[in-house]
Each structure stands twice: as C-alpha cells, then as structure tokens.
Chain A
Amino acid sequence: MSSALTFSDEQLTAYLDGEADAALCTQIESALERDAALAARLQALEVDAAAIRATFDALLLSAPPAPAAVDAAESGRMRVSEAETSERAALRDVTSQDRASRDATSQGGSAGPSRARRHDGVVTPTRPVRALAWAACAAGFALLGGLGGWLAAGSQAQSWDSAAATYHALYVRQTLAPVIAEPARQARELARVSSALGRPLNAADLRSLKDLAYKRAQVLGYEGRPLIQLAFLSRDGVPIALCIIRAAGSSGSGDVATARYDGLNAARWSKDGYDFLLLGNKDAEQLRTYAEHFRAKL
C-alpha cells in the first residue's frame, strides 16, 4: 500500500509540469485515487503558472530598446555572403517548422522553447502540447478552407472574415514567439505573398508600429480567392493578425469599423478594392488605433 511519502516533492513537481515519465504518472494517478494525503501534497505545490506567465509577459512592455549595437534596421545592403546567410535562415525556418510539427520535443528548430507547457496549478497532469504543430501552417497550407468546411458542417458556409477569426482564435503566444523576424526571409516571403494577393506590401510598413513585431506572412485561401494573413506579436505577447482579401463585388466602407467575432475583437476597413481585417485579443480601441495606422500605410 503506497503512502503519500512514496513520492518526493521533486517527483510531484515533475508530474505537475508534464515532465514525469509515463510509469511515474500512472503510479501517482493510481495512488491519488486512494490517498487523500497525496492530493493534499499536490495542492501544497500548486502555483498559478498561467498568472505568473501573464504577469511576466506584461513585463516585456517595460523592456528598454535594444542597444544600438543590435542593428535591427539593416536592410538593402545585401552582399553575396549575406544572401547566403538568408538562404540558410530561410531553410532553417522551414525545416524547423517541419521538425516542430513532427516532434514537439525535438532539439532542432527556431528560437524558443521546444514545446508549449501548461502548469495551471491544476492537480491533473498536463501533457506537453504540440502547439508548434500549428507552425506548420506557415508552409501555406489551405488550412482555412479545410477548417471552414469542418466548422460549417451542416450549416451555412462562414464568411471569410468569420472564418479568419475562427482560425485566429487558435493563435497563442507560442504560435509566433519562436518565429524569428529575419528581414531577408520576411522580404522574400512578402514578395511572394504580395504577388499572390495582387497588391504590393512593404516590410518596412509592417514594422512601423513599435508595439507590434511583424513575424510572417501566409497565403491562405477562401472560395478560390487568395486570403493573406500577416502575423504580428505585440510586445506583451498577444498574437495579432492582419488579413487581406480582394473584395468580392462591392467593397465595404472605407472607414475603420470595430467588430467582434465570437468574443474576439476586430477592426475592418476597405481600400482600393481590398478588404482588411485586423484581429487580436486587445481592446477595441487599441485595435482601432492599429487599424488606422495600417490603413494609412498600406
């Protein structure tokens, strides 16, 4: 008969953090069924990791600017050897995303932790979540079409904006945090994406908001029309998406209007025959400010 003392605090911590092996998990879980003292010990180890993470993420806003030696503004002067570096970087992005989707605990890959973690202070175990599998979407799969179909089963097909919002609702900080904003890769990607959209997009414009780090662009699709998603991560770790699609028929209002999609705030506008949609878990007025900025720039 195992008692609460069979397991060390370290083992229980590993269990709560999803780092315990399967055998240990099974042992702890079966012991929990019989042993109230063990449950009490787990309770004594509970922390609200989500709250800690949120607080520390807000701290990112207080970070000073990077030192001058870290030249983020470098662009244009591409020599042959720099071009080679960018090729390697581009390959790294692609291969790292493939690897990330195959194995959440792989060593290779772009910057950031190799898997998402949850430590919500709940007694039940958390397993490593393969959140980085979503990074595989950056390879440009027409996920949106497939997802729209799945969600719309048995009902009216969703509008493009509503489908985009549904997709964006899946985004978390971990989706974009590992994406390195390497300028040469971004420029190449943006050229490809602009060409698909039929409208020029400039990386410098996308990087013009201090609060939002421009990460990447994807070509998605909706009813045979290219739907572009530009992904940003705010300084406090909130994923923001700017979606652009050629307007079908008559365009909406030129002015920025705020909207809500199932609890997600958004801002919309139209310009030159294209519809724009800015999505993110920020308050409506903040999104409106970003939207006005992008509407002027793009």
Chain B
Amino acid sequence: MRDRSPAQTDVRHGLADVFPRLWRYCLTLTANRADADDLAQAACLRAIERAHLFEPGTHLDRWVFTIAHRIWLNELRAARLRRGGGLAPIEDVDLIDEKADTEMNFSARELLRKVLRLPEAQRVVVLLVYVEGYAYKEAAAIIGIPIGTVMSRLAAARKKLAAQDSEQASKRA
C-alpha cells in the first residue's frame, strides 16, 4: 500500500471531524437517506484523491461541501432521475435513525420535513445559511451561484415556510 502523503493525512483527519455535517449537507441535497450515504462517501473519497489540491490552512469543510455539490449535480442527480426515482419529497420516517436515541418531538420532525420538502435550490441555501451559518458570499461560493441568487432563494424559502406556519396557525384557530 502506498504511503499516505502529508496532505492526505491532513484531509483524512479533518474529514473525520467534518463527516456528520457533510452527511447532513448531502441529506439536504439529495432528500433521500440512501443517496445521502452514497454521496457523503463519494465526496470523502474524492476529497482524499484530490488531497494534493487542498490548501492547508483553508476551510476543509467548504472544500468538501463543494466537492459533494459537484458530484451531486454532475453525477448522482442525473443517475437518480434515470432510475425513475424522481426528486420526490422525502419520507421523514427514513430520516431519523430510531436507534439513535434522538429526542426529536413532533414539531421538530414537522419542521425538518417542511424544510426538506422545499425545492432543492431553496433547501440547500437554508441549510448553508441558517443551519451551517455561512455568510451569503460563502454559501454562494460553495454552490457556485451569484450572491443575488442566494438572496432570492432565501427570500422564497422564507415566504414559503412563513406561509405554511400561518396556514397551520389559522387552521388551529
């Protein structure tokens, strides 16, 4: 087995740390647990292969998120459409690993479902900006779109989510 280069070692160690967030990002992209697992794995392998391109001291998480996004767009997404799976809304029963003692109550699951049922473009920016906490500029760089597009997708997501909230509130009233 070939000796690992220092760059690869760096990337491997960093990936172990970042992996849960990477997987969560992949779940948001794919809206499907099995595809998320595959995409996260593929992104890790690609990142290790390309470790020599990673600039030490820069942001590993953004770099691997970008890799995952590109694999999704250029490879896996098309394959899934061909499989006939479509990009159907996610079944939330697949999401939560029942064995992982997660205390997610009903309203939390509801919220998760709502966000993951947003159109792909919108839910990805919601994850990058509102969950991961990236600035507009950083999110734009990760998914390769203009900042203005990030803004309009967030505005659209906000409107949709807020509208669903008030719809529910009025039903209960």
Question: Which residues of chain A have a CB within 8 Å of any CB of chain B?
Answer: 8-10, 12-14, 16-17, 19, 43-49, 51-67, 69-72, 74, 81-82, 84-85, 88-89, 91-92, 95-96, 105, 108-117, 119, 128, 174, 180-183, 213, 235-236
* B119: interface (CB < 8 Å): no
Q: How does the 8 Å CB contact mask read for B10-33 relative to A, with 1 for contact and 0 for none?
A: 101111111111011001000000
In the assembled complex, which residues on chain A have CB atoms less than 8 Å from the CB atom of B58? 108
In the assembled complex, which residues on chain A have CB atoms less than 8 Å from the CB atom of B45? 67, 69
* B159 close to A19 (CB less than 8 A): no
A235 to B24, CA, bound (A): 12
The chain A residue with its CB closest to the CB of B49 is A69
* B159 close to A44 (CB less than 8 A): yes
* B112: interface (CB < 8 Å): yes
Interface residues of B in 1-58 (CB under 8 A from A): 5-7, 9-10, 12-21, 23-24, 27, 37, 40-41, 44-45, 48, 56-58
A289 to B61, CA, bound (A): 31
The chain A residue with its CB closest to the CB of B98 is A62
Given contacts A67-B45, A70-B44, contact A111 B61 (CB under 8 A): yes
* B134 close to A13 (CB less than 8 A): no
Given contacts A9-B155, A52-B111, A56-B24, contact A182 B14 (CB under 8 A): yes
Partner of A63, one of B5, B24, B59, B61: B24
* B159 close to A9 (CB less than 8 A): yes
A56 to B44, CA, bound (A): 21
A56 to B102, CA, bound (A): 12
* B121: interface (CB < 8 Å): no
Q: Which of the listed residues A64, A91, A116, A182 has the most CB atoms from chain B within 10 Å of its own CB? A: A64
A95 CB to nearest B CB, Å: 8
Interface residues of B in 141-173 (CB under 8 A from A): 148, 151-152, 154-159, 161-163, 165
* B97 close to A113 (CB less than 8 A): no
* A64 close to B23 (CB less than 8 A): yes
In the assembled complex, which residues on chain B have CB atoms less than 8 Å from the CB atom of A59? 24, 27, 95-96, 112
In the assembled complex, which residues on chain B have CB atoms less than 8 Å from the CB atom of A71? 12, 16
* B133 close to A116 (CB less than 8 A): yes
Instruction: Given contacts A10-B152, A69-B45, A81-B6, list 4 more A-B pairs with CB under 8 A.
Output: A17-B136, A60-B24, A74-B13, A88-B57
* B88: interface (CB < 8 Å): no
A19 to B125, CA, bound (A): 14
The chain A residue with its CB closest to the CB of B6 is A85
In the assembled complex, which residues on chain B have CB atoms less than 8 Å from the CB atom of A56? 24, 112, 115, 127, 131
Partner of B56, one of A55, A66, A92, A119: A92
In the assembled complex, which residues on chain B have CB atoms less than 8 Å from the CB atom of A43? 162
* B159 close to A70 (CB less than 8 A): no
Partner of A49, one of B14, B17, B130: B130
The chain B residue with its CB closest to the CB of A215 is B17
The chain B residue with its CB closest to the CB of A51 is B111
The chain A residue with its CB closest to the CB of B18 is A111
- 8 A–B contact pairs at CB < 8 A? A44-B163, A45-B158, A56-B131, A61-B97, A69-B44, A82-B6, A111-B17, A182-B10
A82 to B7, CA, bound (A): 9
* A60 close to B159 (CB less than 8 A): no
Given contacts A19-B135, A114-B135, contact A183 B24 (CB under 8 A): no
* B93: interface (CB < 8 Å): no
B84 CB to nearest A CB, Å: 25
